Structure 1
Amino acid sequence: MKKKKDKFFNYLKSISLNLKVSAHYFADYKFKNVNDLKVFSESMKEFESNGDTMVHDLINELNTAFITPIEREDILALSISMDDILNGLYHTAALFEMYSMIEMDDYMLKFVDVIKTCAAEIDVAIDLLSTKKLLNIREHAIKLKEMESYCDNIFRESIKHLFTFEKDPIQIIKYKQIYEGLEEIADCLKAVANTLEKIIIMNA
């Protein structure tokens, strides 16, 4: 008989899966006109609201649970850092709508591709956590940190390019804000990796 997964791992899996689906939606969505931006933003808001509900339910369970499979603060940190990524994606989608930007430049596309890849890495890591294959998580945590470092380079290049070639101050403000939002999401990826590594050290 297959062993039933702990409810906290089920919560974490629901959060990671919602994040993966939302990151894929964000990365693969194609803008044709300004109306598409509203659909894009509203869809990302729905993903974000679903994530908030999942985290809220998880916290309620943590508050009443007598025993947890790993440390409470690690479960909480993992869920919140995943939620922070999703919040960042929604915030960025809202900026696209607010600024009526129907095209991503090459830097944004690179950022988004990394975030999509990392969301899939996180989902795999949560699967491994759920089945207590803790040592196998390490390679995914390392990949997340490598990707976050790569995003630092993209951010530096994007800002340098922006201030070198863009002369319109309004455009500079718009693009800079989106680059900064995407960089903040990358920082959240590192937070997930750090928590995963802490869980490995404390439980393996």
Structure 2
Amino acid sequence: MVFFRGKKDKFSELLLKMTDNLQSATTFFLAQDISSNQGLQLLLKTIKEYEVNGDRYVETITKELSHTYITSIEREDLLQLAVYLDDVLDGMEHTAGLLEMYSVTKSTEHMKKFAQKIHDSSIEISSAINLLSRKKLLSITPYSLKIKELESDTNNLLRMSIKNLFATMKDPIMIIQYKEIYESLEGIVNDCCKVAKTLDTIIMKNA
């Protein structure tokens, strides 16, 4: 195994492109106005485009790994990192689909907080992958810890949001719908945490 020497290799470049794509997706997800059906449809359409881009990067990495004998980090870790990055986008697409399907045209304060946690996590991931590409492994740890902190905060946010849901909403159908949306949003940050844990594994093996 040869860890990044000299210029960035093709795998680190692909991972950087994946994180750029992810951060663009979370920025849009956070900012998009969903106060109309058109806004919801645009959210779903745009997030789907980012998700398709993510799938393409995973496919490219998988193909490159199939005929590359010496990789920057262990093949399994490279592929796992790419898959978990793509899982974050999959979760975002799923959530956008739920919002559109249930015609949720008003973001609750809890939804906005979830979206901010997702965006903040993507920023930390982007910084960590950038350090990985520059061989600064030990510098990644604070970013990994921050992602885990955000994940813990989001777990607490889920409990509070569901508690508030049952306390304030009377329509049982809407309770089911919003609970599903909150759980889906929380799951996105959980996927970000999987990225952090994979980075921890890479650090342990290569630092």
What's the TM-score bracket when you normalise by the shorter of the two chains?
over 0.9
Matches within 5 A, 1:23-34: 23-34=26-37
- Alpha-carbon shift at residue 173 of structure 1 (Å): 1.2
- Alpha-carbon shift at residue 202 of structure 1 (Å): 0.7
**Percent identity of equivalent pairs:** 45
Query: What's the counterpart of residue 129 of structure 2?
Result: 126
Matches within 5 A, 1:59-74: 59-74=62-77
Give the one of 184, 194, 198 matched to 1:181.
Answer: 184
Gaps of 5+ in 1: none
Query: What's the counterpart of residue 112 of structure 1?
Result: 115
Query: What's the counterpart of residue 17 of structure 2?
Result: 14
TM-score normalised to the size of structure 2? 0.95
Gaps of 5+ in 2: 1-5
- Alpha-carbon shift at residue 201 of structure 1 (Å): 0.9
- Alpha-carbon shift at residue 31 of structure 1 (Å): 2.4
Query: What's the counterpart of residue 95 of structure 2?
Result: 92
Count of paired positions: 203
Superposed CA deviations along residues 107-130 of structure 1, whole A, max 9, x for unmatched, are 111111011011011011111000
Structure 2 distance, partners of 1:181, 1:60, is 30
Structure 1 distance, partners of 2:192, 2:34, is 26
- Alpha-carbon shift at residue 9 of structure 1 (Å): 0.3
Query: What's the counterpart of residue 46 of structure 1?
Result: 49
Structure 1 distance, partners of 2:154, 2:173, is 24
Structure 1 distance, partners of 2:182, 2:35, is 22
Structure 1 distance, partners of 2:177, 2:200, is 36
Structure 1 distance, partners of 2:137, 2:42, is 39
Matched residue SS, 1:68? coil
2:53 maps to a residue whose letter is N
Structure 1 distance, partners of 2:64, 2:118, is 29
- 1:55 maps to 2:58: yes
Query: After TM superposition, what 4+ stretches of structure 1 lie above 4 angstroms from structure 2?
Result: none
